[in-house]
Every structure is written in C-alpha cells, then in structure tokens.
Amino acid sequence: MRILVTNDDGIHAEGLGALERIAASLSDDVWVCAPEYEQSGASRALTLSEPIRVRKVGHRRFAATGTPTDCVMLAINELIDGDRPDLVLSGVNRGPNIAEDVTMSGTVAGAIEGMALGVPAIALSQAGRPDDMEGFFAPAETFAPGIIRRLTAQGWPGDVVMNVNFPVIEPGAAAEVEVTRQGFRDVQVRHAERRTDLRGRDYYWIGFRQFRSEPAAGTDLRAFYEGRISVTPLHIDLTHAATVEALKKVLDGAAPSL
C-alpha cells in the first residue's frame, strides 16, 4: 500500500512525525508532502496568486509553500514517482477537529483533496494539554494503526472522507471507539482579542474560548467530551435536502420577478 502523508501544522510539526510513524507501521511505501509553514484554519484554500515553491527535505519527503490542498494536489499529480497513492493520511493535528471546525480545518481539507482526486483519505487529530507535550500524540500513535487497518479493510464511498479524533487517553487506560455524526456547538467559541503593539497600534488575535456545549448523543462532540475516539464519515455535499423540497413548491417554474 502506497501512503501519502500531509498536514496543516507544517513540515516540522511533531504531529507530522507521529503520523509518519503511524504510516510506517502500515507500509514501507510512504511519501510526505506538507506545508513549509503552519496553515491551520486554511480550509480548502488553493494558492492561485503566487507561485508555490517545493523543497525536497528527505527521501520521499517534500515541503511546499502552499496549503494542505496544494500539497496533496502537487504530491499526487507531480511529486510521487510511479503509481498514485492508495491512501492519504492528514494530521496528526495538534488539537481536535470536530463539529463545525471541520469546515475550517486544513487537516480535513488535506483529506478532502485526496478524496477529490480519487484517493481514499483519513484526517486524524489529537486533543491534549497545551502545557504537556510529552506523550501528546501517544493515543493517536497507539490506536490509529488498528483503526486505519479496519477502515481500509471495510472501505467507504468515494465521496466520503474519514475524520478521526483522539481524546486524551492516559497510559494504560482502556480506549473506546464510537462512529459518530458531525455535531454543532450551541455556544460560540471563536473570538478575537484586541491587543496593542509597542507602537500603540491595535491588532487582533483570533482564538478559541474553552467553553463546552451540550451536544446530542451520537455526535463527535459528545464522544470527544466523554473520552471516546470519534470516527466520523464526512462528505462535502452541503445541500440541505429538506429545504430543497420546501423551496421547490414555491420557486420551481415561477417567474424570477415575483
């Protein structure tokens, strides 16, 4: 099995190293193409207004000055010698990618680009304590290989990507997997904090408040809050079918001036 590894935290991220080790436990044919610089929150951005520089940083390892989407597209179409990959793995992101966060996630976007190019893809993210990086990615490294093996053995539709989130799991503790649907927070966690630089000018730093919502059972949020590994099949058809049917009754065939 040929595996392409990417991320949004950049070529030097510890999570990328963790994912390379995960991939190496599954295959001896692993390629890496990751952003030269951190691209968190880039979503599916494609670099169109400036050139992308690619740097070879090792055997089958490349860094590109673009986004995760750029990296996957370039790797599959230009950089990998011979056959296309059989699997794209994106991550391991530092921090979860759950609920509405998935629409902004560069990690998920890397997987989506793989899917768009006809390659099965999995996004992986790891929660942890920001002040404790020792063993931060241990749950993902411990449990991801088995989950990936079972997912690839089962297979999934070509227009779907798998989004896997690992909670904090203490060493030796039992781990439980739950297949979930995407949740949505009932509180607003994103905010902009105004600060002042040394020249007296205001600037803003965007971040996340640590508020918890009250998610429904069966959602990625609920599984994450309760310490379970969440596996969520995602796709990018954003059409709301019920609203389509309701609007057809009043708009289909109507004159646009009404």
Instruction: Find out whether 71 and 6 touch, Cβ atoms under 8 Å.
Output: yes
Determine the average pLDDT of the residues in 91-116.
97
User: Lowest-confidence range among 20-34, 95-109, 137-151, 184-198?
Assistant: 184-198
Instruction: Find out whether 97 and 123 touch, Cβ atoms under 8 Å.
Output: yes
Q: pLDDT tier at 170 (50, 70, 90 boundaries)? A: confident
pTM, 2 dp: 0.93
Q: What pLDDT was estimated at residue 171?
A: 81
Neighbours of 43 (CB within 10 A): 17
How many residues are present in the chain? 258
What residues contact 110, with CB distance under 8 A and at least 6 apart? 6, 7, 8, 68, 69, 71, 72, 88, 90, 121, 123
Long-range (24+ apart) CB contacts under 8 A made by 76-85 are: 76/4, 76/114, 76/117, 76/119, 77/117, 79/31, 79/33, 79/54, 80/2, 80/4, 80/31, 83/2, 84/2, 84/117, 84/118, 84/119, 85/2, 85/3, 85/4, 85/31, 85/114, 85/119
Quickly tell me which residue has 């439980």 as its tokens: 176
Token code pair at residue 213: 């919502």
Q: pLDDT tier at 129 (50, 70, 90 boundaries)? A: confident
Instruction: Find out whether 74 and 52 touch, Cβ atoms under 8 Å.
Output: yes
The C-alpha angle 189, 44, 247, rounded to 5 degrees, equals 80
pLDDT for residue 186 is more than 90: no
pLDDT for residue 187 is more than 80: no
pLDDT for residue 150 is more than 80: yes
pLDDT for residue 132 is more than 80: no
245 SS3 class:
helix
pLDDT over 90, % of the chain: 85
C-alpha span between 251 and 218 (Å, rounded): 35
C-alpha span between 151 and 20 (Å, rounded): 18
C-alpha span between 37 and 185 (Å, rounded): 29
Instruction: Find out whether 167 and 175 touch, Cβ atoms under 8 Å.
Output: no
32 SS3 class:
strand
C-alpha span between 147 and 163 (Å, rounded): 11
